[in-house]
Structure 1
Amino acid sequence: MMICRHLLLFMLLLFPAIAAAADAAVPSARTAQVLLLLSYEPVFPAADNIVSTMRRELNNNPHNDITLHVEYMDLDLQAGDAYLHAYAQLLRAKQQQGERYDLVVAAGDGALKLLVTAGREVLGQVPVVFLGVNDSQLIRNAQNLGGFTGIYDALPVYEFMALMRYLYPGFEQLHVINDGLPRSGQRLLQLQQAADSLKQKLVVHSLATLSWQQLADELAGLDGEPLLLLSAYQDVEKAIKPLHKSNRFLSAHSGSPLWSLSPSGIGDGLLGGVVTDLQLSTERAAAMALRILDGENPDRIIIDWHPEILTLVDAEQAISMGFEADDFPQKTIFMNQPPGFWQSYRNLFLLLLSVTVFFTSIGLFIWSEIRRRKFSDQQLDERTELIKNILDSIPDIIFYKDRNGVYVFCNKQFVNLMGKNPVGYTDFDVFDQETAEFFRAKDKEAVARKHMNVNEEWVHSVDGSVMLLETQKTPIYDKRGRCIGVFGLSRDITELKKAQQNLEHIAHHDVLTGLPNRLSLNKKLEYALNMARRGGELLAVIFLDLDRFKDINDTIGHDIGDLLLKDVAHRLHNNVRDSDICARLGGDEFVVILSRIDDEERIQEKCDRLLQVISRPYSLQGHLLSVFASAGISIYPQHGNSVDELIRNADAALHKAKELGRNRSCYYQRELTDSIHSRMSLEQDLRSALEQHSFTLYYQPQFRVGDSIPKRVEALLRWPHPVRGLISPHDFIPLAETSGMIVELGYWVLRSACQQFLFWRQQGLKLEKISVNVSPIQINSSFASTVADILQHLDFDPRWLELEVTESLMMSGTTEVSQQISELRAMGVDFAIDDFGTGYSSLSKIKSMPVTVLKIDQSFVRDINDDINDYEIARAIVLMAKSLGLIVVAEGVETKEQEGTLHRLGCEWVQGYYYAMPMDGEEFYQRYCTEAVQPD
């Protein structure tokens, strides 16, 4: 009876938590389900702030009952595509188990990248709100998908530079601590771009090449120069220091105070910094989430590109470093301020208050104890019955054994799974000898440790199946500290264990072929490099790519393409040694690592052998296929000393092999990467120019033949590069199209051109049309609505706008393009075919195209008086256009003779250098406004 009474008291203590868990287990039918997906570990300081703020803001909503689910990712060391794919599979498994979400909140670049790359496939069309994302291109990619909105976490690098110049006038260089991990790469790039634009020198102390002690030795010599902590998590020897230990270590060894671009660590080793207001960003994101849950379309909620910026300073550390409050800008927020009167005497006041409360509480306790005891027995019986019913409703196994191993209590789940009520029996009466001895040993282990012990146990259920239980065993003590029994809770984790093992395999292997993936390749190649260094041997990286594999997928199907990839992987794996490495990077890209090589000729022989093996015919589901491959080769140590360098150089050699005609191999050479670096540099400059609005518009007038004042004008985009000079649109427009920046750039051109056109008309220059070029990539499902929004915002009459498109776009006949053009035509927007005659259009098909203007390409105008073919083409275009009621504009008119010939053919509109060269908006206004303004 004494044991039972102790058990009942223990159950009473568990009652509030169990009741709360039971309430949480039965969600309301009207409860909205929200997933908060964080890129960080739970111990990351920002994670707790985001979770608590988001939960508070969502719970304060009076209209909806909301359940917040929180998932943490670990992207410090695992930021690759394989990890994201594996995590997506884990989310899919949870979806299959019944979890459904009405909205997803993504915190950090990694979480948003997961949702952009695999979110629709895993979660469907669930709307997404993001915060803490500082990759602007990733946000634009998400915006193009639709259903995404949120807060852009701009890295305040320029504000930080301004603070440093305020505190350190005339300093020569800014020292930066970085660890080279993936999450810090984007920050370092933005910081470097800001420093370059301000002509400020950066000195990077990188843990990617230094140990913690080596970094401390370098920092000890700093004195009076600003020092920025960008990221310090892991050094070159893979030694990891958590955030608080890292901050204190660096602060203790640095000769200069540490500054930061993140609030984490300020007040705990870091002097201060310029940071975004993470709590405010979270509150704004929560507000966006509530608007979406109330039914608002997420695409109508504008992305917040301007987060709040704060300047935080640890006042206590600032004083110790010799700073005063007046040394900082006016809006600086100080932490750890020196205590005031209340802080100084608070403890004394609280002591007096505590004494008063203590004696008052004693009196109240005695009075309440007398009343409580009158009803304790009745309440104990009622609660015991209630707790028993609750424990029986829990799907996990719950039991209690006394110190002799005899079962005193178990819930119904124990009886249902084991087929026997164990109360009054021991493990030896319920299970087989081996299992019972294992259970008894774990009981003794928990008692010996004097705290909860967790172990995994394989048992046979009543139906004969084998299941894996995760069991928590906790010793129970009486008031004298004597152990009176063991309380246990067991959960079936058989399927979860299988999922974890599968996830571990997926994280290191390609799902389709079973070969090692990129993550596993990097580890294996790093080990092989170390062995090659020790043995003084050569090591070769062969980067292979199937030639025209896309044609197979497009013509025969992706199923056959997948079978082909499996066969290629099988052939490669069977034709390398056990000491070599064969991996798939993705798509149709494979990498073979040849180790223990003493002669370079063997590398070429092996590569030729692999290409020959791949080229043998394949028989796949009735299809006889032949496929070839190209290969790029890099060799250690001639072509690199690191994993990334060798793979990157082999990839560059592969591209050269494809340029030379495919089905061949090519060794890496230095000049192969020069063109790639130039293109990457131009793309970075293009992105910076887009963000800083460094482009400009020029305007070329269009005249009716015989007029001196233009009635129409065409907007032309120009890019004046600060170093390379004026860059031709033929160079940067294709780059903008391939990188996806053309969409945002195109809308900027449209908005700016329309604003300039409105200004001219307000000043008296009564132009009829402004023509703007449109890239085919711009015309997506939201193109018409976005153009309509721009025109409505500017109060711009759609009849004034003419959009120039290519001949091939009009001939494409795709449903999406036709629908977008039809919507804009219904509004009054006209369309023109640019460079007409250079494409593949049939003249008879022009009548079915929704266009009002044909522009004769300047290649026909240039020799119209010398080449009979150009003359006849121009004449045919004019006659055909007149018969269809279309306007014809001749481009590139440079002489009076060309104008006369076009006029005789019936072409009424012309443009070209004969009339005016392209000019900026102010010059256009000064040239034509005075002549155009006529008195009423």
Structure 2
Amino acid sequence: MANGIKSLLVVVGCLISLSSFAIHADQKARQILLLLSFDPLYPFASDVVNTLRNGLSQPLDMSLQVHAEFMDAEFHRSPEYIDAYRRMLSAKMENGERYDLIIAAGDAALTLVAGEQSNLFNDVPVVFMGVHNGDLVRELRTRGGYTGLQETLPVYEQIALLRNVYPGFERLHVITDGLPGYEPQMQQIRQAISSLGQTIVEHSLAKLSWEEMAQSLDTIRNEPVLLVSAREDRLKESRDFPLAVRYLTLEAGAPIWHLWQQGIGSGLIGGVVVDLKASAQRAAAMGAMVLNHISPDDIQVEWHGDYKTLIDAQVVAHYGYKESAFPASVEWLNRDPDFYSRYRTHILLALSFAVFCVAVGLFVWTENRRRRLSDEQLDERTTLLQDILNSIPDLMFYKDVNGRYEFSNRRFNDFFGVKPVGQTDYDLFDKETADFFRQKDSEAIGRRNANVNEEWVQGINGETILLETQKTPIFSKHGDVMGVFGLSRDITELKKAQENLEHLAHHDVLTGLPNRLLLNKKLEYALQICRRAGEALAVIFLDLDRFKDINDTIGHDVGDLLLKDVAHRLHNNVRDSDICARLGGDEFVVVLTRIDDVSRVQEKCGQLLEVISRPYSLQGHLLSVFASAGIAVYPEHGSTVDELIRNADAALHKAKELGRNRSYDYHRELTDTMHSRMSLEQDLRSAIEGHHFELHFQPQFHIGEERPRRVEALLRWSHPLRGMISPHEFIPLAETSGMISELGFWVVRSACQQFMFWRQQGLQLDKIAVNVSAVQINASFANTIARIMEHLDFNPAWLELEVTESLMMSGTTEVNQQIHQLRTLGVEFAIDDFGTGYSSLSKIKSMPVTVLKVDQSFVRDINDDVNDYEIIRAIVLMARSLGLTVIAEGVETEAQQQTLKRIGCEWMQGYLYARPMDGGAFYERYVKDENRQDD
């Protein structure tokens, strides 16, 4: 009996050690930090936390442990408070908390994480939500490791809702208290109201007491009242938010609207608000992608949140409004409950009692059955445990304190060809090996903790393998050491794989050359030698000219072979002391070390370009390829790795600008040009964030009519120092810097808003055209446009999107899907600057467009150049046969108009009719014209 108990203890000890050692790292519970800017008593705090927790847990097959921390930053903004909060998080991490993912909700939380990312959080990936600071988001994206959702306050959507309820209202009353924290929101409201030609009346508690505020609100009738903030009056009397809402709604003569979900349903009538639950679900989905080993840098930031319209049915009934006055998409609160809601408590109580009775019955039945089968199950489990231990591919054993084996599994016995039970290491192995094993046993017993070591052993068949062995001391219930349990895993192949990964981490997979990481290390070492020896060093940055054409025409397989041959030629034409690396794509870097004569660098660079230009014979193709190169020399052009590579890259771009297939030495002016572009890019970011852009509008006329029926929206930017900047300068910059998406959607929203305002004021236009960049059209483009139109209650048939001819002819599947989705809704498409030649005319039939806009370069010389005349005539004839509309751009003279009319062009646009003008001037000009003609 004693031996049986002892064996059972050994088996159980084996399983305990196995569970602590054999579980892989990816099965360990992932640690998630939810850092939230608001306080835990915020009404929707628990919903946000639960949504994030459920959204992370459901799609992942792994254990998660979520830590929720609330900053309460709305009322605690002092540096002392933030520092104390940071020290609290630091203390928790010093006590063992480590995070695999951080989800930051709100600007304050994201700011804290960004400031402490390296020092406190060890560069843990971050997903953010509920963030309004666009500059911070862009900065963190360039830093890397961040993705998430930036939320924009739905000011324009709120105004569109108010226009439904208060048709033709002229003034918007806003309640505020003047305290810091809500000034950015007030600025957005002022700008939106100002752009629509309406006025705003501010009722500020900074100037009024609570009683005076109540008297002021009591006089308002049939005009919208919007609550922004109300915490403290001019007498410094503070009230919490529910008390302030209750007081103001009881005293006001009109219902009060809100831009946030809090308070709606508790006195406030409603508003267009950010859908916190939807935002949390999307943030959780991004977090799950990160935990599934997708880099945050590969997950696109979502710049537009989901909005929803909440309306309190009881407040609507109290003020006598009809529910039909509200959009169909409204989510109603406080409606009369249905049968289930009314008797929900009774139904749940009855179900709970039934479940309790069933559970008690099942427990009694299960307990009786367990007692009857306990003896049989004990035997089965003992056999099962033995089978499990024998099926494990690792070597397992147990030795007592004297080193005598008491247990070994089948894998141990088969590998060494012996059953060791009852023997010691000295009976089984040579003395040197036995001494090593006993030493490791003693170390584990002495430390009273698991001890891991690597050891080479030879099996019965002569095979030598590397084992990673963990030896764990086993204790009795009194704390005395009973023996040592060992688990040995064959890591021979793992070691080889690690060495291979080490090579792959520092070398390019295709060419075998050092990659960017190894180049930086080698170049830094070479610079140190140059500094000590007083020698020069040159960095040559090479790029193949028009390599993309080879991939597109012949194929990527041939392109890869070409890159390997180029790498081979470069490597064979430099010294062993030089460095040759591939950065990626068709970019290579050659570092020439120990240079005695700097003037010979250009000669060596020319030799390398000549070597590259020699013909290549690849899979039956005889190819010629050329390269361009930029040169930077240490110490003349830089003293650090980054500086030399950056300056060589700048010289390379200059070489390509000069015609390619040449080299160029770096000059200071190249960096100055890049800095100017970076400065303009920073100004562009500020202009987008501060809404410093404006829209001008140019009318489009049908031949013979004096009133425009169509209008095109044109984006303009007046820089405070540089003056008016051409779209041809800042639009490409916005495209390359990734800002075009946010800017483009702002243009669509603002143009639609202005168009609706004109129609409401009596200016009956049929269509507004908006230019769309090819970079904007991604997988979410159509959904975003549809969401903008839905929130503004904008008829899709009024909108025309202008795209380039090259984009429409690209045949890209994603572009075609997005265009088809919007055309299904009723949005029409036009080709801007059409007329690049007869080659396009045969493809008009396959394009999903309704309008062709003839490029003004053809219109300008229509009376002087017969080719331009024939091109426009062919476009008009082809379009007429297909039922398409043709609009001529840039019509400036009467002669041009008459010629266009003669060849059948019915729509025109240009300075002959009107120059582009702002929304107010457009309204004044054409509404007055209509009123004059009506009189």
Structure 1 position 131 matched with structure 2 position 132: no
- For the pair 1:569 / 2:570, whether they are aligned, the reply is no
Aligned-partner Cα distance in 1 for 2:180–2:808: 57
Q: Mark the CA change 1:910 to 1:556 in structure 2 (over 3 Å): closer, same or farther.
A: closer
Question: 1:591 is matched with which residue?
Answer: 589
Equivalent-residue separation in structure 2 for 1:470 and 1:34 (angstroms): 20
Q: Does 1:414 align with 2:412?
A: yes
Structure 1 residue 725 displacement after superposition: 2.0
Partner of 2:651: 653
The answer to whether the 8 A contact 2:699-2:909 is kept is: yes
Aligned to 1:854: 852
Cα distance, 1:704 vs structure 2: 2.8
- Contact conserved, 2:60 with 2:288, CA < 8 A, in 1? no
Q: For residues 379 and 725 of structure 1, do their structure 2 counterparts lie closer, same or farther at Cα, with a shift above 3 Å needed?
A: same
Structure 2 SS opposite 1:564: helix
- In the TM superposition, what is the alpha-carbon distance from 1:520 to its structure 2 partner? 1.3
Task: Note the alpha carbon deviations across 1:426-475, whole angstroms, 9 max, x for none.
Answer: 23444466544432343344455554321112234566544322111234
Query: 2:765 aligns to what?
Result: 767
**In the alignment, what sits opposite 2:89?**
none
Q: Give the alignment's Cα RMSD to 1 decimal.
A: 5.0
Contact 1:808 1:839 in 2 (8 A): no
Of 58, 68, 72 in structure 1, the residue corresponding to residue 62 of structure 2 is 68
Q: Paired residue for 2:489, among 488, 491, 510?
A: 491
Q: Could you tell me how far 1:404 is from its partner in structure 2? A: 3.5
- For the pair 1:929 / 2:927, whether they are aligned, the reply is yes
Query: What is the CA–CA distance in structure 1 between the aligned matches of 2:60 and 2:715, rounded to whole Å?
Result: 49
Shift of residue 871 of structure 1? 4.9
8 Å CA contact 2:103, 2:287 repeated in 1: no
Q: Work out the CA distance in 2 between the residues paired with 1:607 and 1:794.
A: 60
Which residue of 2 is the match for residue 627 of structure 1? 625
| 2:661 aligned partner | 663
Distance, in Å, in 2 between the alignment partners of 1:152 and 1:820 is 23
Contact kept in structure 2, 1:131 and 1:153, CA below 8 Å: no
What is aligned with 1:536? Answer: 534
8 Å contact from structure 2 (residues 149, 301) kept in 1: no
Structure 1 residue 728: deviation in Å? 0.7
CA contact (8 A) 2:127 2:286 kept: no
Cα 1:380–1:902 change in 2 (3 A) is closer
Q: Aligned-pair distance for 1:915?
A: 2.4
- Structure 2 distance, partners of 1:733, 1:776, is 11
For the Cα contact (< 8 Å) 2:774–2:803, is it kept in 1? yes
The structure-2 alpha-carbon separation of the partners of 1:635 and 1:798, relative to structure 1 and needing over 3 Å to count, comes to same
Report how far residue 383 of structure 1 moved. 9.3
Aligned residue for 1:800?
A: 798
Deviations 1:351-387 (A, max 9, x none): xxxxxxxxxxxxxxxxxxxxxxxxxx99999998886
Work out the number of aligned pairs and report it: 668
Distance 2:716 2:439 in 1: 79
- Per the alignment, residue 833 of structure 1 pairs with 831
Q: CA deviation at 1:292?
A: 14
For 1:789, the equivalent position in structure 2 comes to: 787
Structure 1 residue 699: deviation in Å? Answer: 0.7
* Aligned partners of 1:130 and 1:285 also within 8 Å: no
TM-superposed CA distance for 1:700, in Å, is: 0.8
Give distance in 2, aligned partners of 1:898 and 1:35. Answer: 74
Give secondary structure in 1 for the equivalent of 2:917. coil
Among 524, 527, 537, the alignment partner of 2:525 is 527
Aligned AA for 1:768? D
Contact in 2 for aligned 1:650/1:668 (Cα 8 Å): yes
Q: Give, as a single letter, the amino acid of the residue that structure 1 aligns with 2:788.
A: I
Partner residue in 1 for 2:169 = none
**Residue 473 and residue 879 in structure 1: after superposition, are their counterparts in 2 closer, same or farther (change >3 A)?**
closer
Counterpart-to-counterpart distance in 2, 1:62 and 1:731: 43
Tell me whether 1:607 sits opposite 2:605 in the alignment.
Answer: yes
Superposed CA offset, 1:595-619 (max 9, x none): 2222213423333333333333334
Shift of 1:634: 1.2
Could you list the per-position Cα deviations for residues 44-96 of structure 1 after superposition, in whole angstroms to 9, with x for gaps in the alignment?
xxxxxxxxx9999787799969642689xxxxxxxxxxxxxxxxxxxxxxxxx
Amino acid at match of 1:758: M
The aligned amino acid for 1:673 is T
Amino acid paired to 2:890: G
Find the aligned partners of 1:462 and 1:550 in 2 and give their Cα distance: 58
Name the aligned partner's letter for residue 628 of structure 1: F
- The secondary structure found in structure 1 opposite 2:801 is strand
Q: Show the 5 A alignment for 1:220-235.
A: none
CA distance in structure 2 between the aligned counterparts of 1:886 and 1:382, rounded to whole angstroms: 81
Within 5 Å, which residues of 2 pair with 1:281-430?
285-286=283-284, 303=302, 391-392=389-390, 394-430=392-428
TM-score normalised to structure 1 length: 0.61
Change over 3 Å in CA distance of 1:69–1:612 after alignment to 2: farther
Could you list the per-position Cα deviations for residues 873-930 of structure 1 after superposition, in whole angstroms to 9, with x for gaps in the alignment?
5555445544544433332233444444544554433322232221111221222223
8 Å Cα contact 2:443/2:451 also seen in 1: yes
Mapped partners of 2:301, 2:595: distance in 1 = 58
Deviations 1:752-788 (A, max 9, x none): 2112111111111111111122233434454444433
Aligned partner of 1:454 among 433, 452, 455: 452
Classify the secondary structure of the residue corresponding to 1:917.
Answer: coil
**Secondary structure at the residue paired with 1:578?**
coil
Distance 2:55 2:649 in 1: 53
Find the residue that maps to 1:421 and give its secondary structure.
coil
SS across alignment from 1:648: helix
Change (3 A) 1:808 1:916: same
**Take 1:549 and 1:794, find their aligned partners in 2: how far apart are those partners?**
47
Residue type of the partner of 2:852? L
Measure how far apart 1:282 and its partner are.
8.3
Q: Distance in 1 between matches of 2:300 and 2:588?
A: 43
Q: What amino acid maps onto 1:529 in structure 2? A: L
Aligned to 1:68, the other structure's residue is in SS state: coil
> Does the Cα contact within 8 Å between 1:470 and 1:490 map onto a contact in 2?
yes
Task: Give 1:551 shift.
Answer: 2.6
Q: Distance in 2 between matches of 1:7 and 1:440?
A: 22
**TM-score normalised to structure 2 length:** 0.61
Distance 2:660 2:59 in 1: 60
Contact 1:700/1:713 (8 A) holds in 2? yes
> What does residue 686 of structure 1 align with?
684
| CA gap 1:403/1:381 in 2 versus in 1, 3 angstroms | farther
State the match for 1:742 in structure 2. Answer: 740
Could you list the runs of 5+ residues in structure 1 that have no partner in the other structure? 28-32, 41-52, 72-104, 110-128, 155-164, 168-278, 294-298, 308-376
**282 and 131 in structure 1: CA distance in 2 versus 1, 3 angstrom threshold:** farther
Q: Matches of 1:446 and 1:35 in 2, distance apart? A: 27
Map of 2:510 onto structure 1? 512
Matches within 5 A, 1:168-317: 285-286=283-284, 303=302
* CA contact 2:56–2:285 (8 Å) conserved in 1: no
Aligned AA (1:666)? Y
Q: Deviation string for 1:660-697 (max 9, x for gaps)?
A: 33333222111122222222333333334334433221
Identity in percent: 67
Q: Which residue of 2 aligns with 1:188?
A: none
Tell me, which stretches of 5 or more residues in structure 2 are unaligned? 35-46, 66-99, 105-124, 153-178, 182-276, 292-297, 307-374
Larger mean CA deviation between 892-901 and 377-386 belongs to 377-386
Q: Please name the residue that 1:580 is paired with.
A: 578
Cα distance in 2 between the residues matched to 1:37 and 1:557: 45
Which has the larger displacement, 697-706 or 62-71? 62-71
Q: Does structure 2 retain, via aligned residues, the 8 Å contact 1:392–1:411?
A: yes
Paired with 2:419 and 2:536, the residues of 1 have a C-alpha distance of: 68
CA contact (8 A) 2:542 2:629 kept: yes
Whole-angstrom distance in 2 between the partners of 1:280 and 1:818: 28
Q: Distance in 1 between matches of 2:503 and 2:451?
A: 28
Give the distance between the partners of 1:486 and 1:34, measured in 2 at CA: 25
